[in-house]
Structure 1
Amino acid sequence: MDMKANKLADKRIKLGCAGRGVQNSAPGNPVSLQELPVDTQFRMVVEAGVFDFFDRLPLADKVDDYIKAVEKYDFPVWGSAWTYRIGDEPLKVLEGHLVNCAATGVRYHNMMVLTHHAKGHVVTDEELIDLYLRSYELGHKYGIEIGFEVHILMWSEDFRRVTPVANKIRAQGVPFNFVMDYSHCIFKIGNPSEQDISGIREDVAAGKVVLDPFEKGNLADEWLSMNMVWWQQNRPAVPNGPVNIWAKGDDGKPGRGVQYPFVRPRPGEWYDEWHEYLLEPSKELIRKTLRYHLTHDDSPLQLMTVDYINLPDYGLGVHYNTYESSVAVGRFIRETQAQIEKELQALKESQPVD
């Protein structure tokens, strides 16, 4: 194997599976908030043979279960995430989580920061920057890297805020570790009411904000070109995705539909028509991210995860097998990386030698 091939081998992406999606759901056993035992989740993820790590925040009452599972299956839990509200002592909450993360071997923590401050106002850039810088420093105390995510219900649901906040943090000499879950953008494509929630409807119509990853000037390309995508979460979603009529959010309305089965549902497993072509934007995000990673030696990408989860806006109450879809996405990621590596190697071999 030549040096270029070695470089590609070194860039094999670390791939994780979100614990919330590890449920063998079916029409008689819909996705539930009641999760399987930690040991069972680990066993299923390991047996899939496609993942490198488990992705879940070990809460205090489960730390021992995670330690035992990590040792039993010789399989790490690296990724973790939690929701934080500025004004509710987020650093105190974060440190409690970091203690549990350090005890179980977690390396990465994704902070989802709510749009509104505890006092009611929309959090400012300055408040976000202050929280990021202090969290980043606190994470290093425990040997854990911190990142901020693009996500509904969070400050970043107004996608226009991501780049300015990232640039202001980087201006402080600190890397902005960006968690790109583009499902939160994809499901808003062709969905004016969802665009209104983000405040971007007019900018989308004017071409100032481009959500479609196949169109020039889209947000995914913008964020990748900034060389800050540190973690990519992959939850297949589709343009103007169907709401989740099998679960209701806190507002009593159906879930917002930020999740779509990757495997064709069997009779009785899905409440809507299923079309494979609708998954192309989600697949394109995987292709874009992997191609960028493989063609940039300084790519900051540390990990990818597959993120089928069991909350109302995603998969709560659905009858299709979310774990089956998780594994299928994992295999698609592996196959896609192998194909891109093959194309890059062929391109290198076709070039004249100096």
Structure 2
Amino acid sequence: MKQELLIGITESGVMHTDADPPIPLDTKFQMVKESGVYDYFDKTPPLELEDDYRRCSEKYELPILAGGWFYVLGRDEDLLMENLRLGARLGSLVHNTQIMMDHQDGSLVSDEQVVEIYLRAYETGEACGCRPTFEVHVNMWSEDFRRIEKVADLVEKTGDPISDDTGPFPCHFQNRQSPRAGSLQHP
């Protein structure tokens, strides 16, 4: 069966140049729709702007099929669950979950902590209709990319499926914490 590849744009990417003043939300949706290039908007808005995003999405017939956010474990677990539910209310199918490498207490996030939050997010996402994906990226738990397979194996042992976003994966070490997270030498 052939599947259609949908192309989206993150809300922060809708601009003329970085130096230009901010563009009103309605105008951003209009620009994206009129470009004829994109099929959907990618955004998890602040809760207080949920209605504004829904209105613009409906007005321009441009769905919000994905969103994402950065999370610090020990602080943002409930925010992740709420953002999954918010995404579902806006029509998002996936939520790009970016778990920072450091826990709120300053320690590195452990594999077990990643598994625990993934399982909780997966359960919430399945219930509401917006699945979490865990991004592979710098400054995240997965910056030591050797951990990804270990975490995936731990999740699979629970019987739950694993999803991951292997798209944005720049492998550079400009962040001084990178070697600490990955037991790698700084160039």
Length-normalised TM-score, structure 2: 0.88
The aligned residue for residue 172 of structure 1 is: 158
Structure 2: 5+ residue runs without aligned partners? none
1:67 is matched with 54
> Do structure 1's residue 30 and structure 2's residue 19 form an aligned pair?
yes
Q: Which amino acid aligns with 2:29?
A: F
Paired residue secondary structure (1:79): strand
Q: Determine the C-alpha separation between the residues in 2 that align with 1:169 and 1:150.
A: 16
Task: Tell me, in whole angstroms, the C-alpha distance in 1 between the residues paired with 2:163 and 2:23.
Answer: 31
Partner of 1:154: 140
**CA shift in 2, pair 1:86/1:201, >3 Å:** closer
Query: Is the 1:46–1:73 Cα contact (8 Å) retained in structure 2?
Result: yes
Selected match of 2:116 from 127, 130, 154 = 130
Residue 9 of structure 2 aligns to a residue whose secondary structure is: strand
Q: Please state whether the residue corresponding to 1:62 is helix, strand or coil.
A: helix
**CA drift at 1:195:** 9.0
Cα gap change, 1:100 to 1:161, in 2 (>3 Å)? same
Q: Which runs of structure 2 are paired with 1:1-354 in the superposition (5 Å)?
A: 7=1, 10-25=2-17, 30=19, 35-88=22-75, 90-185=76-171, 188=172, 193=174, 197-198=178-179, 199=182, 201=184
Give, in whole Å, the separation in 2 of the partners of 1:173 and 1:195.
Answer: 36
Q: Give the letter for the 1:171 counterpart.
A: K
AA in 1 matched with 2:140? M
RMSD of Structure 2 on Structure 1 (CA): 2.3
Going from structure 1 to structure 2, the CA distance change for 1:182 and 1:71 (only over 3 Å counts) comes to closer
Partner Cα separation in structure 2 for residue 129 and residue 72 of structure 1? 39
Moved over 3 A (4+): 192-196, 198-202
- Give the AA of the match of 2:25: V
AA aligned opposite 2:19? P
Deviation at 1:36, TM superposition (A): 2.1
Amino acid across the alignment from 2:15: Q
User: Which entry has the higher C-alpha Rg, 1 or 2?
Assistant: 1
Identity of aligned residues (%): 34
Judged with a 3 Å threshold, the aligned counterparts in structure 2 of structure 1 residues 62 and 118 are, in CA distance, closer, same or farther, namely: same
Q: Is the Cα contact below 8 Å between 1:42 and 1:69 reproduced in 2?
A: yes
| 1:172 CA displacement | 1.8
Identify the range of structure 1 (148-157 vs 163-172) with the bigger mean alpha-carbon deviation: 163-172
Indicate conservation of the 8 Å contact 1:195/1:201, yes or no: no
The answer (yes or no) to whether the contact 1:59–1:100 under 8 Å persists in 2 is no
